[in-house]
Structure 1
Amino acid sequence: MLLLFTTLLSGCGALRLAYGQAPDLVYWWLDGHADFTDPQSERVRADLGRFFDWHRRTQLPDYAGLLSRAQAQLRSPEPVTPEGVCRWSDEIAARIQPMVDQALPMAAESVLQLAPWQLKHMAHKFDKVNAKFRDDYLQPDPAERLEAAVERTVDRTESLYGDIDDAQRERIARLVAASPFDPAVWLAERQQRQQDLLATLRTLKARQATVGEAQAALRALVAHVQRSPREAYREYDTRLRSYNCMVGAQVHNAMTPAQRQRAVERLKGWEDDLRALSTSR
């Protein structure tokens, strides 16, 4: 899912190329965390091939339909509301569950094959990605941190609407500065999820768990990602989500007709790519 919506921001044509490479890209990402043995690699590659065959046939047409409806919304002269943005967010989030259901049986068999040394490798990998997160999001100088956050938001905005003017950029800067987003809170939650994953995998290994038990354990982990078991983080996430929906509405409503038309054209290009991909082999 992350791969798909990241490549959507790369523009028309890039989506078709990236999606065609998706099984390899996801494999290398997973291998970077688990350091698969040759037999494990063979299994994971086969599972990813089956997953993306299913995803191409069954999910991409639905994504294309979602983008078609989004174009109609962007063409409307009516202002976008924060509640409307949150509804779109919910629609996208709902499309994660079918992928989870499809992937879990494959993932359960693979994680049971992981050796203790591979779990240590995973822990070291988490340390590396957390260090990169700190570099990207937790700059010691508050001014540099804010500047980086503004640039990320501007880049995402321009990837859809095209170039923005100084007044629009200043509006984004004010909204980002007032955001409740706290990278330290997010990092702490990420690290807790990483530890939960490692503890779960170690327990499954120690108990010589069945595939069914592994599926249930992984499903519980996914549920905790979707809704944190930690109340303080849930409250923070609710505040942040509400604020981000307001930001999305304000940013869109500040766009010119030409910028909105650019967004419609981008969505149409992505829709065409998805429809073409869904019927290709």
Structure 2
Amino acid sequence: MRWISRLIAALLALIVAGCSSVQLAYNNAPFLLQYQLDRYLDLDDEQERVLRAQLVELQQWHKSHALPLYAQTLRGWAQTLSRARTFTAQEILDKQAVLQDEALAFGQKAAQLLGPVIVTLGPTQRDRLARRFETSNREYAQEFLNAPDQGRSERRERFVKNYERWLGPLSEEQLTLLDQWLDTHPNNPALWAAERQARQQALLNLIAEAPQFETPDEASLALNDYLISLTSYQTPTIQARQQERRIALAQLSAELLNIMTDTQRKHLQDELLSYAADFESLAGTTATSRKLSSP
């Protein structure tokens, strides 16, 4: 598991996971994240104290800065669904770029605040994380490398689940388009296994360098560089093919949206507005005048 990636996503994932109490889950996010990181690194008491304080500050920044922006953006996107319209792959890519930019802003803030923790990590903790990675990689190999047919089935299930979360049940025409896309763009578990290991090694190298950082700011810069690297790929083969694949996936999404029913369009609009309301409630405010993108 890439615990740094999990850190960036976790505050939103707690909401998306559908917890019975969104407010409770979000308010307890720093403690849940601390627990996760402790499992992988076995932090000492002082590291736990510093991490807890930094995660609380990160959450406060996220609440005041990010959540209102997310809410306003989702409301803008929902507004575009008030009538039937044609979507394009470029529009999907533009929306992805908006989300990636905000994720990078979150990552930059996380890196800034976690510098004091990074400089204290030692060889024992690095070795513990390396063993965790080895276990995770064996599980990945067993699930995806040793059972390719099962991997394809689970991949389709994930795609269907992700699209249906926003659109509701897919039509037969939409499912056919999805199956055709999956057949045309097969996954390569071996390549992704190599990418996983490259990213893991980059993180382990960062932790190994921790004693060389003279200040937390130096550690923050190194961590931010690592987080930025996650927006691309460590493995050259994947890097070369992924841009084409990203465009193809945006085209699939546009095609599915362009044949969605009125019921699906209403479902998508309601989901966007529901998440926007959740974000506003968590932030304790309504959307600010700043926009991430134009509707």
Q: 2: CA distance between counterparts of 1:79 and 1:111?
A: 47
> 2:13 and 2:188 mapped to 1: Cα distance?
22
How many residues are paired up? 278
Q: Percent identity?
A: 24
Q: Give 2:67's aligned residue.
A: 60
Match of 1:25 among 21, 32, 46: 32
Which whole-Å CA distance do the structure 2 matches of 1:254 and 1:125 have between them? 44
2:25 and 2:165 mapped to 1: Cα distance? 17
Match of 1:222 in 2: 227
| Structure 1 position 276, deviation (Å) | 0.8
Residue 204 in 1 paired to residue 224 in 2? no
When normalised by structure 2's length, the TM-score is 0.86
Task: Output the CA distance in 2 between the equivalents of 1:2 and 1:76.
Answer: 32
Structure 2 gaps, min length 5: 1-7, 286-295
Change (3 A) 1:7 1:128: same
Q: Does 1:37 align with 2:82?
A: no
Correspondence for 2:123 among 100, 116, 130? 116
Deviation at 1:139, TM superposition (A): 4.9
Out of 91-100 and 178-187, give the one that drifted further. 178-187
The alpha-carbon deviation at position 152 of structure 1 amounts to 0.5
In 2, the alpha carbon distance for the partners of 1:277 and 1:140 equals 43
Deviates more, 1:211-220 or 1:1-10: 1-10
- Displacement, 1:102? 1.7
Please show how residues 1-281 of structure 1 align to structure 2 within 5 Å. Answer: 1-7=8-14, 9-11=16-18, 15-136=22-143, 138-179=144-185, 181-205=187-211, 207=212, 209-228=214-233, 230-279=235-284
**Distance in 1 separating the partners of 2:162 and 2:63:** 26
Quote the offset at 1:135 in angstroms. 4.4
Query: Which stretch shows the higher mean deviation, 31-40 or 86-95?
Result: 31-40
Task: Give the drift of 1:142.
Answer: 3.4
Structure-1-length-normalised TM-score = 0.90
Structure 1: stretches of 5+ with no match in the other structure: none
Shift of 1:231: 3.8
Partner secondary structure for residue 75 of structure 1: coil
Distance 1:244 1:27 in 2: 35
Moved more, 239-248 or 84-93: 239-248
